[in-house]
Amino acid sequence: MADPSWPLYEVFLRGKRGLNHVHVGSLHAADPEMALRHARDLYTRRNEGVSIWVVRASDVTASSPDEKDPFFKPSGDKVYRHPTFYDIPDDVPHM
Amino acid sequence: MHTGRTKDRMTTSADTGATGQERAGDQERMDHFEDTIARMSRVEPRDWMPDRYRATMIRQIAQHAHSEIIGMQPEGDWITRAPSLRRKAILLAKVQDEAGHGMYLYSAAETLGADRADLTEKLITARQKYSSIFNYPTLSYADVGVIGWLVDGAAICNQVPLCRSSYGPYARAMIRICKEESFHQRQGYELLLTMMRGTQAQRDLVQDAVNRFWWPTLMMFGPPDAASPNTAQSMHWGIKRHTNDELRQRFVDMAVPQADKLGVTLPDADLRWNGGRGHYDFGQVDWREFQAVLSGGGPCNTQRLARRQAAHEAGGWVREAALAHAAKHDKDHPERMRLTVPANQNANGGEANHG
Amino acid sequence: MSDPGSAPDGAPDGAPDRDFDDNPYDLLARDDDAAHRWAFGTGFTDPLDGIDRSVPDGVDQGQLARCCLALGDDALIYSHRLQQWVTRMPELEEETALANVALDLLGQARMLLSRAGGIVGRSEDQLAFFRAEPEFRNVRLAEHADRDFAELTVRLLLLSTWRLALFESLAGRGPGAGAADPVLAAIAAKGVNELAYHRDYAAGWVVRLGDGTALSHAKAQAALDILWPQAVELFRPDPDALAACPGGIGDRAAFDAIVDTVLAAAGLDRPAAPGPACPPGRPPAAVGERAGRDGAHTAAMAGILAELQSVARADPGATW
């Protein structure tokens, strides 16, 4: 199956009584408008009055609190999540 | 800084799953990782972690996600036939929740470097598994109630401890999921109570469903501890918080009084309270059945995967179309048409908020 | 929705940090804000709880009941068709969106059938599960089985655009004063927000498909060719709806204008008139011919009702 998948978006919400946006997870969408709608469906259950930000995951630049070394291996870029595709081997034991 | 701290327990390179070379190179990072685990603090996506931990965690989270998505099918099959409009709405909402849970979990797995499309492929090609309970068919509407009571009940037993998973995104997803699932379980039990107080035909359906789902539910907790060699490592790393047998016993202890209240008989002649242990004794699970179903021999394995595969393949042209449209109409093209939403609807809250 | 980021380390959302003693059923006992734990705030209490059910003087009860039944049946049957897409959507996020639409429509159906039922002396379930086919008053377009995602989204565009305009009128947001029955007006007001969301969702997809790939464009056009002729029935004069909403219920021209806006963005062509694209055996309703509102349905209706009513009818005395 070689069809391209929808890019990953990170979702941030600020609730009615919230002071700031909080990261709640991610989802896949083809474009920002779709991402906003999906975020509303999936993460807010269509609650009114919730402010939503969606950001392409690839656009998020992040540090890690544990990093002591600014040139922390193995990543050169600083994407939020593990930077490279991680292919788990089939022989990883079951629980 | 963590310099040369002596660990307060015996660990070997085999325990931590790292090669000798890795330990030599990453001793400091390993110490920090182990310290995080020991303090019951959380590992977050950007933290260093042993490959074995990452791989195990991806597999566990992904298989949990697959279970939610596949689990939509046995219950989803009864939405159109629900015998009251209220039950229909409840079931439709429950199945929708399950889709949401699957997505929360895939999202958590992706923070570890997995890719959802890849995980879907691994599911469809049976390289990753899902909870084998969903390989059993749902034969009547009573099954919907029993899945809520027993299957969701067992899932909750498994899942509440996972709210303390050592991996942050997984723990947070589990907190949200547990809250929603407890509501599902209540609805399932309430349906069964209603049916047990109803017609004889309804009571017969419930008892039959219990007879079919009781043992497979016990199998949901996995093989016995003696047959689970990886439990120790998983517990050391906070991937698991309790053993399979511990959780299975806990579930039985909770379910028996609930069965009594319903007025159903659990299909186990060996089930009895053991005052000395303070737990219910119960009979032997048929582990051969478990293995057979797990390796693809269950009644519905083929059709569950086939449905998932068919939806994914049939949707290919749709997903491609959306991407093609997005490529043609990104933000640099303001002439893109949008329908406006009526002013009295709080459309999505996000449009005007930039700061 | 609780803020997951606020949970202190090691404890789920404020619970004391116990380990082995934690009882999973504590979550069951806690009186959480249950509405937020359930999809879309869809209540499972009596839909018309707290509303004065007396029909105002001057409102013809028979016509009101028929109107509510018609609009309720549209939603019930259409929701049924959408429910059949669960686990078959092209992407997981679309499963949530689809269930969303189906749940909203089911909720509207429940309220409308309850309203009608209150007048004719039957419950929502008696109406849904124990009427025969000729007693159902839904439009035929609701019965259509979508053969692919293009048909699903095009049909949703047509039905939600039409229904939204109707509900806006009933809620008093059209040219007239709205429904004379306050209960119907309230149901419509709640439905307006939902239907606007459905229409927006459908429009977004019709545009993406029409202006996506060559394949998606072809499928979208084919869907439109099949479905557009069936929309004619939506605008048959409906004396019950007109009686329920004396100020008018929205017209064909407004509908066409909205749909044309979407089709233009999608690059799709509206079929000029019903013609060869109509599947044989399903001609559009001509004036004077019996159609869905008269209980004359397509061949698909028997299968829909058989599925919908099967479990309830198998044990008619049962309470669920």
pLDDT digits (tens, 9 = 90+) for B179-198: 888 888 988 999 999 999 99
pLDDT at position C273, please? 56
List the 22-61 stretch of B: residues with Cβ below 8 A of C: 40-42
Contacts of C211 in chain A (CB under 8 A): none
- Nearest chain B CA: its distance from A86 CA (Å): 5
Q: Which amino acid is at C74?
A: D
> Per the domain annotation, does C48 fall within a domain?
no
pLDDT above 70 (res C85): yes
CB contact at 8 A, A37 and B348: yes
Q: Which residue of C has its CA nearest to A42?
A: C96
Instruction: Express each pLDDT in B307-320 by its tens digit.
Output: 999 999 999 999 99
Q: Measured between CB atoms, which of C4, C39, C201 is closest to A45?
A: C39
- Do residue B103 and residue A42 have CB atoms under 8 angstroms apart? yes
> Per the domain annotation, does C24 fall within a domain?
no
Provide the β-strand partners of residue A12.
Answer: A23, A53
- Do residue A92 and residue B346 have CB atoms under 8 angstroms apart? no
State percent of chain B over pLDDT 70: 86
> Per the domain annotation, does C183 fall within a domain?
yes
- Nearest chain C CA: its distance from A95 CA (Å): 20
Enter the pTM of the model: 0.85
* Secondary structure (3-state) at C65: helix
Instruction: Express each pLDDT in C244-262 by its tens digit.
Output: 777 666 688 889 999 999 9
pLDDT at position C75, please? 98
List the 3-62 stretch of C: residues with Cβ below 8 A of B: 4-5, 7, 9-13, 19-20, 22, 24-25, 27-28, 32, 34, 37-40, 42, 44
Instruction: Express each pLDDT in C15-60 by its tens digit.
Output: 333 333 334 334 333 333 443 333 333 444 455 666 677 888 888 9
pLDDT at position C48, please? 62
CA distance C240 to C137: 11
Contacts of C201 in chain A (CB under 8 A): 37
CA distance C134 to C98: 29
- How many distinct structural domains can be found in chain C? 1
Contacts of A76 in chain B (CB under 8 A): none
Q: Is B77 exposed, middle or buried (0-12, 13-18, 19+ CB in 10 A)?
A: middle
Distances (CA, A) of A63 to A71, B343, C64, C221: 11, 40, 63, 48
State percent of chain C over pLDDT 90: 65
Q: In whole numbers, what is the pLDDT of chain B averaged over residues? A: 86
List the 18-47 stretch of A: residues with Cβ below 8 A of B: 25-28, 30-34, 36-37, 39-40, 42
Provide the β-strand partners of residue B274.
Answer: B279
CB contact at 8 A, B182 and B156: yes
β strands within B163-320, DSSP E: 272-274, 279-281
CA distance C311 to C296: 24
Q: In whole numbers, what is the pLDDT of chain C averaged over residues? A: 82
**In terms of DSSP H, where are the helices of chain C?**
26-29, 34-37, 61-83, 92-120, 124-130, 149-170, 182-210, 214-227, 239-244, 252-266, 300-314
Instruction: Express each pLDDT in C185-202 by its tens digit.
Output: 999 999 999 999 999 999
Q: Quick check: C103 contacting B, CB < 8 Å?
A: yes
Q: Quick check: A55 contacting B, CB < 8 Å?
A: no
> Per the domain annotation, does C272 fall within a domain?
yes
CA distance C95 to B73: 12
Subunits close to B (at least 3 CB pairs below 8 A): A, C
- Do residue B164 and residue C212 have CB atoms under 8 angstroms apart? no
pLDDT at position C50, please? 66
Domain with residue C218: its CATH number is 1.20.1260.10
Least confident of B67-71, B104-108, C232-236: C232-236
Sign of CA dihedral B159, B162, B167, B168: positive
> Per the domain annotation, does C319 fall within a domain?
no
Contacts of A46 in chain C (CB under 8 A): 40-41, 100, 197
Contacts of B108 in chain A (CB under 8 A): 25
- Each as own residue / partner, the long-range contacts of residues A70-78 (CB below 8 Å, 24 or more positions apart, any chain) are none
pLDDT above 50 (res C278): no
pLDDT at position B232, please? 80
CA distance C194 to C41: 12
Q: Measured between CB atoms, which of B84, B178, B321 is closest to C216?
A: B321
> Per the domain annotation, does C200 fall within a domain?
yes
Instruction: Give the up-direction half-sphere exposure of residue C234: CA atoms within 13 A in the CB hemisphere.
Output: 25
pLDDT at position A77, please? 39
Provide the β-strand partners of residue A26.
Answer: A10
Mean pLDDT computed over B275-299: 90
> Per the domain annotation, does C296 fall within a domain?
yes
Contacts of A27 in chain B (CB under 8 A): 103, 107
> Per the domain annotation, does C136 fall within a domain?
yes
| Residue C217: domain span | 61-314
